[in-house]
A and B are shown apart, each in its own frame.
Chain A
Amino acid sequence: MKTFPIGGVHPPENKITANMPIKYLPASGSVVVPLAQHIGAPAIPAVNKGDKVKTGQLLAAAKGFISANIHSPVSGKVNRIDNALDTSGYRQPAVFIDVEGDDWLETIDRSEEIVYDIKLSSEEIVRKCMDSGIVGLGGATFPSHVKLSVPFGKKCDVLIINGVECEPFLTSDHRLMLEKAEEVLVGVKILMKALNVNKALIGIENNKPDAIEHLQKLSGNFPGISVLPLKVKYPQGAEKQLIKALINREVPSGRLPVDVGAVVHNVGTAYAVYEAVQKNKPLFERVVTVTGKSLKSPGNFMVRIGTPVGRLIDEAGGLPEDTGKIISGGPMMGKALVSTEIPVVKGMSGIIAVPVSESERTEVNPCIRCAKCIQVCPMNLEPYLLMSLAQKGLLTGQKRK
């Protein structure tokens, strides 16, 4: 079984919510939609205070090419456009909407029926992704249309779909692959057409045998798509490691995957692309895993962007007494939140309530140069050396390295 060759670790998986079906959380109360929830320039508001908006309506338009549109996740009235806390606790502009009912735009196809036939051309698909505000849903939130526009002179020959979900606790991609497998596969087909490639590889770690089996069975109907199980190892879901594991190509430092002929998209993104292209539905909801060892009823929720994190935690049985930290994203790469008022954004794949006992740092002992850090580093670095340089304030030395 394939995996990346250098380094890697095996954190406890803790995939508590792996068998819990996705629950739909209806919109209610009020939502806060930040204007900067993607990499690149923040979007420019397209609505004013007091405006009535429908679900799926454009709230803010992308500013420039590396930016993304933002659509209203709910229907209701724009309360105000003001600064709101972002995941780091700094105030960023956001649109506050008071929810009134759930009135979707008529152009959105809300039927359950799966549309297999891809009518749009390659350019039209990229355009559609741009209009629908699709960004990478794995967590980095890089605008997808940028990735789909292969720069002139470069050639992409393989599309890689990231279904690895190597972060402990998180199961949102896992559930999506089980429950929305056909939609995901059609989404992959759309992405293949947009990139003009005839080969797509879906990489899934073998701690999700049900998803691998299910997708392998269905992928028979989709020529060009193959599902590859991968040996469990963190950080296999990192773009560079996944490319190395699946097609044995190395992305040089400071370069992009497209430089080695690959483009990587997350399964969540593939699903969002399917909905945008086939159902005309912009990106305004996503699957979020709400989990934690002491949460009463953890689960996977399909939630509207802008829903406060506190509401999701309440849905999962309320914040446990012993919580020391609430993490947005996975426990390895995620960020601790400063408040439960912070809204769900496009890149939020999970919310983890970590007990005090596990959230505290252990004491740092002096380095004895056992070189274990070098053994596990997947990027071929020498962390102990970087640490000693950092402690001495020799930051230019780090750069040179």
Chain B
Amino acid sequence: MSSVILLTVLSLSSLAIIAAVILYFVAQKFKVYEDPRIDLVQDLLPAANCGGCGFAGCRNLAEALVKADTFDGLYCPVGGAKVMEEVAKLLGKTAIAADPLVAVLKCNGTPDVRQKTTSYIGVYDCRITHNLYMGETDCSYGCLGYGDCERACTFDAIHIDITTGLPVISDEKCVACGACVKACPRNLIELRKKAKKDRKIYVACSNCDKGGPARKACKAACIACGKCFKVCEFGAITIENNLAYIDAGKCTFCRKCVTECPTGCILEINFPPRKPKSEPQAQSVPENPNV
């Protein structure tokens, strides 16, 4: 009886040894050389695998970083400058500084200013609705509010506000990976340069219709009146396709355009309250429901 057990153990172990030897030689023969630095770089990256760098995941970016001569065009928006510095130190290259970005929604069409004109009963998905028709309001450029951006965000930074029906982007959580930018069928989300204290001034509208129909559809629409363009001393504002745009690189946060805008579609965010002037201000800035 014991001889049977012994025989079994012996035969199986010898089989295992033979297999191990074969596998060792095969592994040697077909060995793929991989730069050990790739693993090291990957460990430094945030492991979010969000695709914000333009690659499929962190591993692919690590490979590209190790292979590249300069870091030109390679940047991890999630890790930001700090991580890129560390990677640069490890690889002995120089990090290229890039401004941190943050996502903003270029629509301010809350139900108060943008009346519902039709009702949509169907799949709760922006992409599908956008292909079907203009949406529940008269604005065919504005936010549909079915949350494609919310679903696309892997950092829990976007949530649809139930009272306004618009997505709210958290400045702390947003890493500017750009997933929401790609998800929005109406291109309403823009990655803008992050400023001190998370201050932002931007045109919260994407309506390219002429002033009349735009205003009719939404009281907070940009009507391309050009007032902001005229008041801006720094040439930061351009008007194209019946829509104003503020260049974040040129804007000095003087806030003149905000007071000038007759529809209140230019938003100022995270600013201290203005000092009351002697004359009452004709144009009150609407409270921003977007932050």
Interface of A toward B, CB cutoff 8 Å: 83, 88-91, 335-336, 338-339, 360-361
Instruction: Give chain A nearest CB distance to B245 CB in angstroms.
Output: 20
Inter-chain contacts of A338 with B (CB < 8 A): 117-118, 133-134
Q: Is the CB of B213 within 8 A of A88?
A: no
- B132 interface residue per 8 A CB criterion: yes
- B122 interface residue per 8 A CB criterion: yes
Instruction: Give chain A nearest CB distance to B22 CB in angstroms.
Output: 39
- Contact with B121, one of A83, A335, A339, A360 (Cβ below 8 angstroms): A360
Inter-chain contacts of A361 with B (CB < 8 A): 121-122
Residue of A nearest to B117 (CB): A338
- The total of chain B residues at the interface (CB under 8 A) is 12
Inter-chain contacts of B118 with A (CB < 8 A): 89, 336, 338
Residue of B nearest to A88 (CB): B133
Instruction: Give chain B nearest CB distance to A128 CB in angstroms.
Output: 36
CA distance A90 to B122 in the complex (A): 19
Inter-chain contacts of A360 with B (CB < 8 A): 121
Chain B residues numbered 82-133 whose CB sits less than 8 Å from any CB in chain A: 117-118, 121-122, 132-133
Inter-chain contacts of B209 with A (CB < 8 A): 83, 91
Instruction: Give chain A nearest CB distance to B185 CB in angstroms.
Output: 13
Determine which residue in B122, B133, B135 has the highest number of CB atoms from chain A within 10 A of its CB, and name it: B133
Instruction: Give chain B nearest CB distance to A144 CB in angstroms.
Output: 27
- B140 interface residue per 8 A CB criterion: yes
Instruction: Give chain A nearest CB distance to B128 CB in angstroms.
Output: 10
Instruction: Give chain B nearest CB distance to A331 CB in angstroms.
Output: 15
Residue of B nearest to A338 (CB): B118
Q: Is the CB of B135 within 8 A of A89?
A: yes
Instruction: Give chain A nearest CB distance to B88 CB in angstroms.
Output: 37
Q: Is the CB of A91 within 8 A of B140?
A: yes
CA distance A83 to B211 in the complex (A): 12
Q: Is the CB of B121 within 8 A of A89?
A: no
List 10 A-B residue pairs with CB atoms under 8 Å apart, sorted by A's residue number. Answer: A83-B213, A88-B132, A88-B133, A88-B134, A90-B133, A90-B140, A91-B140, A336-B133, A338-B117, A360-B121
Inter-chain contacts of B210 with A (CB < 8 A): 83
Q: Besides A335-B133, A338-B134, 8 other CB < 8 A contacts? A: A83-B209, A90-B134, A90-B140, A91-B140, A91-B213, A336-B118, A338-B117, A338-B133
Instruction: Give chain B nearest CB distance to A96 CB in angstroms.
Output: 13
Instruction: Give chain A nearest CB distance to B154 CB in angstroms.
Output: 15
